Structure 1
Amino acid sequence: MTIVEPREDLVPAAVPYADLDSSTTGTLAVQGEEEYDALVSPWNLAIAVRPAAVLAARTAQDVVEAVRFARRHRLLVTPQATGHGPIAELVGAILVNTQGLDECVVHVEGPGEGWARVGAGVKWIRVVQAAAPHGLAPLSGSITDVGIVGYTTGGGLGPMARTYGLAIDRVRAIEVVTGDGVLRRVTPTEDPELFFGLRGGKGMLGIVTAIEFDLVHQPTFYGGSLWFEGEHAAAVIERWRAWSDELPEAATTSFALFQLPAMPDVPPVLAERLTLSVRYLWTGDATEGERWFASMREAAPVLLDDVALKPYTEVDSVHTDPLDPLPAHEAASVLTDFPAEAAQALLATAGPGSGSPQVLVEVRQMGGAVARRGAHDSAFSSRDVAYSLLLVGIAGTPGLETHAEAILEAMAPWTGGRRLPNFTFAADDYRDAYDELTSARLRRAVRTYDPDRVMAIGRALG
């Protein structure tokens, strides 16, 4: 098969974008037009997202027209909803903004049972709020302000993952415009290779317009975040290591070293100092969850204790991720183990006295239901990962990137497995997210459903 190379050198004036504008109901803007900046701005302000044109789609048919237009004119196309995970080198000439696909319906099938259908522009918060009156909850992310589609197609590792698994394990159906310009409804039995590849393969195979997934019965949880002074980090992390090894699957936990600025949403006791947060979410009986957590409360003097019985609508209190857009530099890896030596190496580079410029250094425990394959196979290749490591700093901070590399190098003896698709920050990262068999299946699916290779993300695997 001959792949036609994209005409990414063309300036907007050389492409008849007026034709795309006339065939769609959404708003189309090219560089230099008034609406352009508002339509392309990602959440991460450090990432330059500058396509030649952006289409704010209002319907699935708008997406179809955009992809077909890209095929006709040999252009690359990229989707974006909230813009939490853009990779500048994978932004094509046309950006399809899916925020306008805002359908959100919760279907209740019986006591404690239900499912949701959402458009590609919907954030988790809407499903959380719509499901809560029925005692139901989605497998949402560490913050409910992120988009559902990007999070889920990357696997979906959330604060209840050890109990219920990944978000992709609950998907019923996906509606997607593939690279050949066809709108398809994909299920385990209809286009099963697409169902495999879309769940874990991010946006390689097409632009998702809607997704349907099962909810879980979780009206409340016992959890939140417990904060310590940074000087106690060694003792707290050592306790966390031993304690988390014994936790049943009703618990999902992580810890994070924070250096938070003084801001209105940051409690003064946590601002402008090194602190450590232990995150905890227990899905079972609250009394039992409190009993299990008692050991962490005794690890060191506590600065702030927000761990309590809460409605699921307060799930953002577990990870306390920021809401507002910021210029972030992120780096990540996965760990096969986290022994005492790994904790010491991490603290030497990011703990008290290290001079770390990172705002956040996070270690998440995986395992439990994450490690078990779902009912249907998927492109997610990191089931056997024991921990994930995430670093976040403010882009432009002197020495930030060099320091992040030093942390990753210090953790190299325990680094292994496949990178998490949602923690990929460059095109080359995608090659480390999939095993050889999965990569081969994804490439075959690209050849089948995107023969002209118009999906920019689909080119990440080569």
Structure 2
Amino acid sequence: MSVAHRPDRTELGSRVRGAVLGPGDAGWDEEIAPFNAIGVHRPALIVAAERREDIEEAVRYAAGHRLPVAVQATGHGVATPADGGLLISTRRMDAVAVDPVARIARAEAGAQWHQVIEAAAHHGLAPLNGSSPLVGVVGYTLGGGLGPLARRYGYAADRVTRIHVVTAEGETREATPRRHADLFWALRGGKGNFGVVTAIEFGLVPVTTLYAGGLFFAGDAAEPVLAAWRDRTADLPEEMTSSLALLRLPDAPFIPEPLRGRLTVHVRVAFLGTPGDGEKLLAPLRAVAPTVLDTVREMPYTDVGEIHMDPVEPTPYHERSILLDRLDEAACRRLLEVAGAGSGCPAFVVELRHLGGAVGRPAPVPNAVGNRAAAFTLTTVSPPAGPADPARSVTAALEPWGTGRAYVNFLTGPDTVGDARRLYDPETYERLVRVKRRYDPHNLFRFNHNILPGPGPTGPERRLP
């Protein structure tokens, strides 16, 4: 590595097609702004990449100048702000292509899921996107990708067939099950620790419609609704993926009137069977209490974002999660104590997602998405707060039912970043460390839930100053 010196954007600007921005330049604020405004980036430089070669040059420049590298497409999953580093903005690289015969989609670094959903729907196919169609394809998939079809088809990472990635030396590698197989394994679950993904290819599934939507109940029905949903998950077919959320939504015009400014219970469902069979599966829940809103219907897959109704405008929030190995009556009581009516819980959303099914089985091609024996995720989405953030108490209170681990895609905001070993079983983590040491020994890519390269054969851990 060369000796560090002040970044010269003129030098870098001569090597890339996209704009190179410094603090104060026109467009700077728009380029650094993430969807989740909890993280404010303060990089030394931004490269607004327009093509793969821009990313290669940016990484070479960063390595030569000892600048750690951050990547942002949409900024939904921002972890560590890119302070003092080089931020590569990929949002202009958003091409999407679908091969309907092979049932394969290809998405560039900045593509969002709504683009893939629309392109695939023309051919009677669907991707394994997440709850929000506005999330970036690459970041979501590298973290595993747990979406509305998860129990039937698994994690999005399980369907990946090819990844083009620029590693720390500034060279593009094609990672597949046969080429750079160790890197292919690590990228699918290890997030952005190993390079900058410029394009990703993945399988699509033959889905055109869903029986899906939400059942909303008043907050005072939380106890019986939670109990009924928990009981229902014990024997649901894999064709149904569901979750239950305690919502505290603002009293704002963009919120449906029955949900404004009060505690409500939202059961989210996505069913791949007939509407008649779906009605039968939901009947025990509908019998518990009157709904204040019922949006469940047969819908085209292109309306999948209506199930969770995630925000469409940028907002600051912390997202925390733990994985649960069971959800018994005691766990439900404890959850309502810390997040139900009268608890003082500040979280906008406290959600339980039902796992099992395909996400509980090994991937067809092994990857680093682990913790597959977990039964549920517990996630909180809460407004910004200080070190004593009371929303932390929700996940802390359910730790006795936890696996001791968390799901990386549901950890956003700087204060969620910690020891990455809590995200993986020991064997998976040690293997990730070895891959990191091979492809990024100086930890160039560290603005994330960082996997440290660890000690090499010739000395201690290697890290950029």
Q: Which moved more, 1:422-431 or 1:221-230?
A: 422-431
Query: Residue 453 of structure 1 is aligned with which of 412, 430, 443?
Result: 443
Q: 1:84 to 1:458 in 2, by over 3 A?
A: closer
Q: How far did residue 17 of structure 1 move?
A: 2.2
Query: Residue 234 of structure 2 is aligned with which of 235, 238, 245?
Result: 245
In 2, Cα distance between equivalents of 1:6 and 1:31: 23
In 2, Cα distance between equivalents of 1:418 and 1:331: 12
* Alignment of structure 1 residues 45-84 onto 2, 5 Å: 45-84=37-76
SS of alignment partner, residue 289 of structure 2: coil
Q: 1:392 to 1:400 in 2, by over 3 A?
A: farther
**1:270 is matched with which residue?**
259
Encode CA deviations 1:302-340: one digit per residue, 9 max, x unaligned: 100111111001111111111110011222211111111
The one-letter code of the counterpart of 2:446 is A
- Give the gaps of 5 or more residues in structure 1: none
1:308 has 2:300 as partner = no
TM-score if structure 1 supplies the norm length? 0.94
8 Å CA contact retained: 2:79, 2:447? no
Query: Residue 281 of structure 1 is aligned with which of 270, 282, 294?
Result: 270
Query: Residue 411 of structure 1 is aligned with which of 377, 393, 398?
Result: 398
Query: Residue 420 of structure 1 is aligned with which of 407, 412, 432?
Result: 407
Choose between structure 1 and 2: higher helix proportion: 1
In 2, Cα distance between equivalents of 1:269 and 1:218: 32
Q: What RMSD, in angstroms, separates the aligned Cα atoms of the two structures?
A: 1.8
The one-letter code of the counterpart of 1:270 is L
In 1, Cα distance between equivalents of 2:342 and 2:273: 39
The one-letter code of the counterpart of 2:420 is Y
**2:355 is matched with which residue?**
366
SS of alignment partner, residue 216 of structure 1: coil
Q: Which moved more, 1:430-439 or 1:35-44?
A: 430-439
The one-letter code of the counterpart of 1:416 is T
The one-letter code of the counterpart of 1:99 is R
Encode CA deviations 1:209-246: one digit per residue, 9 max, x unaligned: 00011100000010110000000000100000101111
1:202 has 2:194 as partner = no
**1:355 is matched with which residue?**
344
8 Å CA contact retained: 1:446, 1:458? no
1:394 has 2:394 as partner = no
Encode CA deviations 1:54-85: one digit per residue, 9 max, x unaligned: 11100000000011001111111111100011
In 1, Cα distance between equivalents of 2:161 and 2:26: 40
8 Å CA contact retained: 1:193, 1:445? yes
In 1, Cα distance between equivalents of 2:45 and 2:349: 34
Q: 1:91 to 1:435 in 2, by over 3 A?
A: farther
Q: Which moved more, 1:305-314 or 1:387-396?
A: 387-396
The one-letter code of the counterpart of 2:30 is A
- Give the gaps of 5 or more residues in structure 2: 453-465
1:298 has 2:290 as partner = no
8 Å CA contact retained: 1:175, 1:211? yes
SS of alignment partner, residue 359 of structure 2: helix
Q: How far did residue 263 of structure 1 move?
A: 2.6
Q: Which moved more, 1:66-75 or 1:400-409?
A: 400-409
Determine what percentage of the aligned residue pairs are the same residue.
42
8 Å CA contact retained: 1:221, 1:309? yes
Q: 1:459 to 1:86 in 2, by over 3 A?
A: closer
8 Å CA contact retained: 1:174, 1:212? yes
Query: Residue 207 of structure 2 is aligned with which of 215, 218, 221?
Result: 218
Q: How far did residue 36 of structure 1 move?
A: 1.2
In 1, Cα distance between equivalents of 2:65 and 2:376: 44
1:322 has 2:311 as partner = yes
In 1, Cα distance between equivalents of 2:66 and 2:31: 23
